[in-house]
Amino acid sequence: MENWQEISNLDQYDTPLFVVYEDRIKQNIEMAIGLLSGEVSRFRPHIKTHKMGEVLELFAAYGIYKIKCATIAEAELAALNGMTDVMIAYQPVGFKIHRLMNLISGFPDCSFSCLVDNLETAEAIAAVAKDLGLGEEIKVYLDLNTGMNRTGFPVAENVVEFVNNLRKIDGLKFMGLHIYDGHIHDPDPAVRAARAKPAMDKVLADADELIKQGCTALKIVAGGSNTFTYYAGIERLECSPGTFVFWDENYNRLIPELNFKPAAVLVCTVISLPAPGLLCVDLGYKSVSSENPIEKRVVFPWNDDLSPIGHSEEHLTLKHIGPREYKVGDRIYGLPYHVCPSCALYEEAQVVNNHQIEKSWRIKARDKKISI
C-alpha cells in the first residue's frame, strides 16, 4: 500500500494524534463538486464530520457558502467562518429554541434555518420568536421520515396538508423539504437507488403540488454520503454529504463506487509488549470511536499483521501474527472506521502537507457551546 500517510517530523509530537492531509481534503471537495457536474449551488455539505473553521474556509475557496449542521455550536462556527446559508438539520426543542433565536440575532448577515416535524414544536418556535420580538420570520424545513424512523413526518402521509398547516403559522417561513436516509447502506449502488427511489418519487410529487399551491421557491435537501451517488443525478436536489471530506473505512467498504481519498489518520505509539504475539498502543476508546465491535473501530492497512483484540479507556491491545518485529516506541498509523465521532474526541487536528505536520486546526465545534 502506498505510504502517503508517512510524517517525517512525527518525533516532535505525542500520541494519540488525529491527523488530516490538506491536499487530500481539497481533492475530496473537488470530487464531490464533480459528482454534481460542477453545480456548487446544489452542494450543501454537512460539517458534523470536521467541525473546523479552517475546513469551512476551504469550502469558501471553492464557492461553497451554504452548509448543513446538527448543533448550535456548529451553526455558530459556520457563521463565524463566512458561511451565509446555514441549515440546522435538527428540530430545536425547549431551551434550544432560545439558543437558535440568539444565533439569528447575533449573526444578521447569515441566513439560518431549522427542521420541524410536528405543528406543536413549530408553533413553539414561532411563539418564542414573537415573545423575544425578533422581528423576522424563522425559516423552517419539514423533516421527512423516509424509513430511518429517527425523526421526521412520515413521507407516506399527507405531506401537502401538513405543509399548508405549517404555512399558516404566523412568524415562520416554509423553505422546503429535508430527508436523511442513513438506513440505506447496501454496497450495491443500484440497490441503494432502488430503495431510495419510492420515497423520493413521493417527495418530488409532493413538491410539485406545493409549488402549484404557491411554494415557488421550495428547496429539497436530501441524503448523506450513502445516497449521494443517486441524489447527485436529480437536478432539483441539494445534496448534503459530510463524511466525504475525510472519508473513512466504513464508507470505503459500504460505498465502493465513490473514490474519495482517506484524509484523516490516527497515529498511536506502541507502549508495551505484554506477552508473545501481543502489543499495546495508546489508542483507547477515548481516542477512537468505539460504538462498533472491536474489529470495526480502527484498521491498520500499513500493518496488516495487527488486529485488535482488547480495548479500554487508554489502551488498545493488538494481536501480532507474522515475522515483523515491533518495539516499544514504534509509531503506527491507523484509519478510523467511523471518522465523525473519532474526530470529535480530539481538541485539534494536526495538518500535514508534504509529509510534514505544518500546523494544527482547532476542532472548535466539538464543544457544545462556543458563545451562544
From the number of C-beta atoms within 10 Å of its C-beta (0-12, 13-18, 19+), residue 65 rates as: middle
> H-type helices in the chain, by residue range?
22-35, 53-61, 72-80, 95-106, 119-131, 159-167, 189-212, 228-231, 249-254, 339-343
User: What is the residue range of 229's domain?
Assistant: 23-246
Q: Are residues 201 and 290 in the same domain?
A: no
What CATH number is given to the structural domain containing 329?
Answer: 2.40.37.20
The whole-number average pLDDT for the span 214-239 is 96
**Residue 3 is assigned to a structural domain of this protein:** no
pLDDT in tens, 57-79: 999 999 999 999 999 999 999 99
pLDDT at residue 279 is higher than 90: yes
Q: What pLDDT, in 10s, does the model give residues 16-39?
A: 999 999 999 999 999 999 999 999
**Span 156-168, mean pLDDT?**
98
In a shared domain, residues 187 and 267:
no
Query: How would residue 135 be classed by pLDDT, with cut points 50, 70 and 90?
Result: confident
Of 223, 249, 241, 266, which is closest to residue 31 (Cα–Cα)? 241
Q: Tell me the torsion sign for CA atoms 260, 261, 264, 270.
A: positive
Shared domain for 270 and 354, answered yes or no, is yes
Q: For the chain, what's the residue count?
A: 372
Number of domains in the chain: 2
Task: Write down the H helix ranges in 82-153.
Answer: 95-106, 119-131
CATH classification of the domain holding 51: 3.20.20.10
Maximum distance among all alpha carbons in the chain?
A: 72
- Is residue 1 over pLDDT 90? no
The structure's pTM equals: 0.97
Domain boundary among 221, 246, 271: 246
